Structure 1
Amino acid sequence: MNKKYDSLFTPWKIGNCEIKNRIVLTSMGGTDLFGWMEKNHFDKAGADFILSVAKNNAGLVLPGCQPVYNPMFGQWLYKNKKMYKELAAWMPEFHKTGAKLFVQLTAGFGRSFTVSTMMETLYNNPVLRVLSKPVMDLDKITASASPSPNRWSDKLPSRALTVEEIHEFVTAFGKTAKLLKEAGVDGVEIHAVHEGYLLDQFTLDYVNKRTDEYGGSFENKYRFAVEIVQEIKKQCGEDFPVSLRYSVVSKTKGFREGALPGEEYTEAGRDFEESKKAAKYLQDAGYDMLNCDNGTYDAWYWAHPPIYMPENCNLEDVKNIRKYVDIPVVCAGRMNPEVAANAISNGDIDGAGFARQFLADTEWVTKLMNDNEDDIRPCILCHSGCFNMCHYKGVPNDQDLSDSLHLARCAVNAETMQKDKHFIKPTTSPKKIIIIGGGIGGMEAARVLKLRGHEPIIYEKSDRLGGTFIAASAESYKGKLRDLLSWYIRKMEQMKIEIHLNTEITDLSQFGAAPIIVATGSTARVLRNVPGHEKMIEACQFLTGTEVGETVAVIGGGLTGSEIAYELALKGKKPIIVEMKDDLVSQKGVCLANSSYLREWFAWKNIPVYLETSLKEVRDNGILCVTKDGKEIEIACDSVISSAGYVPTPLVSKDKKPSNVELVGDCNGIGNLRTVIWRAYEVAMKL
């Protein structure tokens, strides 16, 4: 192992609990031991993931946050004794790894609960609200410190939690922690004074307007969190470790409005001055560790950093809070292992938290230790597999139900939390399989086929592998995407996949009856009905090097267009966005943490955005647009980039393809990297 990582692999203590190294798997909803958004039970899929992480040299492992009151079916977590017996039977296997397990418990989401259209309907229809109450009591599970707007929906506001309900929660934390201790769990983490969840909502002035013992003064705001740790210590003993998930600074300007890195703003939530006092106060109340980052659901990009956020985005604040407490402090948020090692070596933090990287590659710590860093499959911070809770103007959480119920899957790793249907099964009849197209879809199919024992052969018409992902990963801030492309190319080399570059295939009949996978991608949609369309630069052309002028109009404010505008601004250009819909990134599958960053960044930097506006004509020195009410607008610019979407380009259409041909990637239907990789995996598994 490279010596620069040595400090990551030194032991440390949380209370009297010794942890073998400083690598912490921080909790992610969906990796739960007792189920996620379903009836509580010992979850074997979650347990398998947690065990895999532990076997691969993580020091402290935290499963997904477990509500002590289950949002589904209204079940208190301590009431199902059977699952604790099953957990107790499993714990010896976990402890063989040498890792320690803390189970994260939460009081719930309050106003941050991700409301969907279906939930709006259930809540606002009096009959349905009564009928659905035994399954999902929305009035209870969205209750907050005070009446307040839901983060996702204007149609389902939060009421104030009653004092009696608060006491119920406190009791439940104690009973649950005691059962976990009896099952052999090493500690618990309270989720917490963090991310604008329910407990945090009590501490935040812009949410908590109470005048009873849980509002007003500093001590009252933090009373709920203090009573929880006191109850746990009462039930489990002073030596039972209790960690606190803690947001150092809220980075929040108000309801549904975050503060971006470098932005000057007035803090609506917890500022650093309050945080210094709060951290010490919570330590003295009994918490044995602070597991830290920043943000709230209103500033979600701090707790769930998209690729636009800087690496180690929370480290400075966490280093500073470490000076004011005597208990260990962990930092999470786009942590770079080398930077984390240096911070630990300097005594700035005690542990380094990592989450989504474990979804992309559960073996990444082992690979780091074995000097195989190039073999680590990187997380690209897309959120499209793990946390694709999506929100744009006019909709609550726009997310498929299957995604709502199955978080913590991974766009770049089809097997993560899906091993019931995605697993490598060796073939009993090895054969040559032709793959037309060497993009991500073609390479993923080749990788899986080779692992199964087949002999894939890739034909790629260009002089390099990567397809449209070369352009998609070109922006300056997309280093992680370029790392993924390098990982795939390295896999092709390691697995000795036969590859023919500069070879365009137009006739599939030459391969006879051999199995064929077509992964030929798509082409840009051309706005041929727009006069002057030939003057436009297509998005991929810009991304692969075509020069543009100083002021650039980007036609299309979806994710691709918005990211291009962001890149233009980073390069010192003056982008202008023209979008037909009523919001930017108005598309399913893009996490609110990602889209809200872009929307708020454009507003902060005064990037002109024309919504509900269509392109009518491209001229030599600008464009002519039309608003939804028919008003014409002339916009001066030096260049125009078209980001109007893509059209599949299969060699053979779906309804006419021979039985030996399968379509993969965008040629099968325009999607995202997740749809490309998962489809490629599934096709490769059935051949």
Structure 2
Amino acid sequence: MKQEYEALFTPWKIGNLEIKNRIVLAPMGGTCIFGWMEPGGSHFDKEAARLLLKIAKHDCGLIIPGIAPVKDMLGGKWLYQNKRKFAELAEFMDELHATGAKMFVQMTAGFGRSFALTAPLAMLAKNKALNTLAKPYIDAEYLTAAPSVLPNRWADDVTTRAITEKEIKDIIYAFGETARLCKEAGVDGVEVHAVHEGYLLDQFTLKYTNKRTDDYGGSFENRYRFAAEIVKEIKDKCGDDFPVSLRYSVRSMTKAFQYGAMPGEDFEEIGRDMEESERAAKFLQDAGYDMLNCDNGTYDAWYWAHPPQYMPQNCNLEDVEHIKKFVDIPVVCAGKMEPDVGAKAVKEGGIDAMAVGRQFLADPKWVSKIKKGREEEIRPCICCHSACFNLTKHNGTANDQDLTESAGMCKCAVNPRSMQSKKYRVKPTDKPKRVAIIGGGVGGMEAARILALRGHEAEIYEKTSELGGVFIAAAAPEFKEKDKQLIAWQKHQLKKLGVKIHYNYEVKPDSLPSADEYIIATGAEANRIPIPGAADYAMDATDYLLGRKQVGKDVVIIGGGLTGCEIALDLFRKGKNPQIVEMKDDLIAVKNMCLANTSYLRDCFKTNKVPVYLNAGVAEITDKSVKVNLKDGRTVELPADDVIMSVGYHPIPLLQAAKNVHLLGDCKKVGNIRSAIWGAWDIAMKI
């Protein structure tokens, strides 16, 4: 192990509980030990348990599963009323403790206005009669209840009702009872979710979401009363020695409803600013909390709690180190934490431990790999959120996420085995075959890797001199460092496995290499739109990203999808003047694209006044400008030294699917990193 990591592998205490090292699994919705979005309500989730146990076996010190609502999402039963699941939890705790790790169960009071309503649930929330009919199964009105009447974060036409004092008291009691059952099951502590991220308890603490006039609104003490009474109830039921952590956002980083602050921005905070946080942290410690598990943000500034690629590494560390000065209890920091930076902060006393979430989905063994000096073996999380947490919103929609995605979170785009260990597994073959993979992009490389692990002879035929395919272009911006690391990881794995690679080898349909099976992974090519002047004056997105063509100061990007917006961000950070033209009524208006990622881009462009033209069409491109037709009938002429086309792709399969020919990735259907890698597994497991 490198000396720079040593501070992470020292013991520490939460109250009287000793933890073997300073690495914490951050709680993530989906890794819930009590599953919560399935018919029948909550239950002991064996798939989550398998993942958590693997993480514990590979040297994580403190395990915190995802949220357990104290009242079931489906069916409305209180969590403490189902004793069977706690018996199963007790058996699991024996297994987990055998690894040397400790575990807290995170309990939540609810979501309030942050509940991610899909269109059907939004309909229930708006229609009392329909909600009454559905209430025995799901009560949308209760699930969205907030401190006050507020706009729902996801469905613009839904307002929440105010939660009643009786409901508050019932929730407080439920926290105590659930914590007691967790303690009896051998759980080492609990975490209260959350004065954090704009969830229900946090909404009570924030002036912009709490307009109450009773004992739970108004003054500072009243706004923080709900959270304080919960920890007191838990301590009454479980004793002062039973550790209770609080998930805590140091600052809200919020400028308005649905509008967050950029890193380093000077802005007027409408939520919890640092001055209030200094007072709140001490108040919550004195109420009885034994640890603060910290980051920043609300659902209105969601990219602070779920940082995409565009956010800085260790983005919350400075604020968390500051707040530690005001408390005597341990403080943990989450948010794109890097081990070397976390270790340095621990060594210098800035924090007590670092929390890591989605990197554990990408590679549950990453901690043990660091200990063994095998950093090059760590599969990186690329912060895409495309499988783990793809709650989606764009103009005019509620949560535009498929129902199957809502029910099955914390899967991983780059590691299909996370939360899908039964479906995706490497099973050795008893009939080795020679498999030719035509195309060395991320899908082709992953297929070769799995085939080699299974015992097949896989060979890659790549028409260029480099592996990575179109993902090389996607990884080009400076903020895509983790994408570059993923390509490097795949190359390293193929070298270790001895996979043969044929570079500069273009396969033609009539000159296929000898093989038993063929995987066609030839990708896609850019769409062309018949715009006057495009052929003469516009370049493809990949031409820019790969550095084939340089651009001037004023650049028009035609297409406001993810690639177009990422190009605009890259140009802005390089000091250029990007302008986006998009035919839809919002940027990145697609399903299953995480709001944390998309809202950062929208907020960044809004804050920095990057011109965005929605509901717009391009009339003509000239050598100096782009003429754009607007929805209101006007035509504007945008100055343009260069024009970049980012209007999607279409498949270019070398062959059609057949008995021994398998189409993979974009050459079958244009998708993303998740569809490429999962598709590779789907094919490679069946050969």
Flag whether TM exceeds 0.5 (same fold).
yes
Question: 1:156: how far off?
Answer: 2.3
Q: Structure 2: which amino acid aligns with 1:406? A: G
Contact between 2:69 and 2:79, CA under 8 Å: does it hold in 1?
yes
Q: What SS does structure 2 have at the residue aligned with 1:276? A: helix
Partner of 2:94: 92
Partner of 1:242: 244
1:615 aligns with 2:595: no
Question: 1:534: how far off?
Answer: 3.2
1:658 aligns with 2:658: yes
Q: Structure 2: which amino acid aligns with 1:157? A: T
Question: 1:530: how far off?
Answer: 3.5
Partner of 2:684: 684
Report the more deviating stretch, 176-185 or 395-404: 395-404
Deviations 1:113-147 (A, max 9, x none): 00111112233345432221111101111000111
1:108-507 paired onto structure 2 within 5 Å: 108-507=110-509
Q: Structure 1: which amino acid aligns with 2:68? A: Q
Work out which of the residue numbers 600, 605, 625 in structure 1 matches 2:603.
600
Partner of 1:667: 667
1:642 aligns with 2:645: yes
Question: 1:426: how far off?
Answer: 1.2
CA distance in 1 between counterparts of 2:510 and 2:338 reads 46
Question: 1:632: how far off?
Answer: 2.2
Contact between 2:531 and 2:621, CA under 8 Å: does it hold in 1?
no
Q: Structure 2: which amino acid aligns with 1:659? A: K
CA distance in 2 between counterparts of 1:128 and 1:509 reads 62
Q: What SS does structure 2 have at the residue aligned with 1:634? A: strand
Deviations 1:575-597 (A, max 9, x none): 11100011111112221111111
1:569 aligns with 2:598: no
Question: Could you say if the C-alpha distance between residues 173 and 550 of structure 1 is closer, same or farther in structure 2, counting changes exceeding 3 Å?
Answer: same
Q: What SS does structure 2 have at the residue aligned with 1:128? A: helix
Q: What SS does structure 1 have at the residue aligned with 2:485? A: helix
Deviations 1:11-56 (A, max 9, x none): 0000000000000001001111110312111110011011011000
Partner of 1:553: 556
Contact between 1:533 and 1:618, CA under 8 Å: does it hold in 2?
no
Q: Structure 1: which amino acid aligns with 2:351? A: I
Q: What SS does structure 1 have at the residue aligned with 2:478? A: coil
Q: What SS does structure 2 have at the residue aligned with 1:553? A: strand
Deviations 1:203-225 (A, max 9, x none): 00000000100001111101100
Contact between 2:569 and 2:601, CA under 8 Å: does it hold in 1?
yes
Question: Could you say if the C-alpha distance between residues 685 and 530 of structure 1 is closer, same or farther in structure 2, counting changes exceeding 3 Å?
Answer: farther
Question: 1:628: how far off?
Answer: 2.7
Q: What SS does structure 2 have at the residue aligned with 1:477? A: helix
Deviations 1:356-393 (A, max 9, x none): 00000000000000000011000000000101001010
Contact between 1:527 and 1:533, CA under 8 Å: does it hold in 2?
no
Partner of 1:586: 589
Question: 1:465: how far off?
Answer: 0.6
CA distance in 2 between counterparts of 1:610 and 1:254 reads 22
Deviations 1:398-446 (A, max 9, x none): 1111110001000111111011211111111011011000000100100
Question: 1:658: how far off?
Answer: 2.4
CA distance in 1 between counterparts of 2:534 and 2:174 reads 66
CA distance in 2 between counterparts of 1:136 and 1:97 reads 38
Contact between 1:147 and 1:158, CA under 8 Å: does it hold in 2?
yes
Q: Structure 2: which amino acid aligns with 1:582? A: D
Deviations 1:67-86 (A, max 9, x none): 10122111211010001011
Q: Structure 1: which amino acid aligns with 2:255? A: K
Contact between 1:32 and 1:64, CA under 8 Å: does it hold in 2?
yes
Question: Could you say if the C-alpha distance between residues 126 and 323 of structure 1 is closer, same or farther in structure 2, counting changes exceeding 3 Å?
Answer: closer
CA distance in 2 between counterparts of 1:351 and 1:127 reads 49
Work out which of the residue numbers 625, 628, 632 in structure 1 matches 2:628.
625
CA distance in 2 between counterparts of 1:102 and 1:529 reads 58
Deviations 1:583-638 (A, max 9, x none): 11111222111111101101111111111111121111111121234432211210
CA distance in 1 between counterparts of 2:679 and 2:306 reads 26
CA distance in 2 between counterparts of 1:407 and 1:168 reads 28
Partner of 2:67: 65
Q: What SS does structure 2 have at the residue aligned with 1:683? A: helix
CA distance in 2 between counterparts of 1:483 and 1:306 reads 16
Q: What SS does structure 2 have at the residue aligned with 1:533? A: helix
Question: 1:533: how far off?
Answer: 2.9
Q: What SS does structure 2 have at the residue aligned with 1:209? A: coil
Q: Structure 1: which amino acid aligns with 2:274? A: F
Partner of 1:15: 15
Q: What SS does structure 2 have at the residue aligned with 1:434? A: strand
Contact between 2:665 and 2:675, CA under 8 Å: does it hold in 1?
yes
CA distance in 1 between counterparts of 2:556 and 2:158 reads 38
- Give the alignment's TM-score, normalised by structure 1: 0.98
CA distance in 2 between counterparts of 1:602 and 1:254 reads 16
Q: What SS does structure 2 have at the residue aligned with 1:300? A: helix
Report the more deviating stretch, 583-592 or 522-531: 522-531
Q: What SS does structure 2 have at the residue aligned with 1:166? A: helix
CA distance in 2 between counterparts of 1:123 and 1:160 reads 13
Deviations 1:298-344 (A, max 9, x none): 11000000110001110011000000000000000000110100000
Q: What SS does structure 2 have at the residue aligned with 1:424? A: coil
Question: 1:509: how far off?
Answer: 6.2
Contact between 2:156 and 2:396, CA under 8 Å: does it hold in 1?
no
CA distance in 2 between counterparts of 1:489 and 1:124 reads 52
Contact between 1:531 and 1:616, CA under 8 Å: does it hold in 2?
no
Contact between 2:204 and 2:224, CA under 8 Å: does it hold in 1?
yes
Contact between 1:385 and 1:407, CA under 8 Å: does it hold in 2?
yes
> Which ranges of 4 or more aligned residues in structure 1 deviate by more than 6 Å?
none
Q: What SS does structure 1 have at the residue aligned with 2:304? A: coil
Runs of 5+ unmatched residues, structure 1:
none
CA distance in 2 between counterparts of 1:90 and 1:76 reads 22
Question: 1:508: how far off?
Answer: 5.6
Q: Structure 2: which amino acid aligns with 1:374? A: E
How many residues get paired? 684
Contact between 2:235 and 2:242, CA under 8 Å: does it hold in 1?
yes
CA distance in 1 between counterparts of 2:340 and 2:401 reads 36
Contact between 2:531 and 2:618, CA under 8 Å: does it hold in 1?
no
Question: 1:652: how far off?
Answer: 2.2
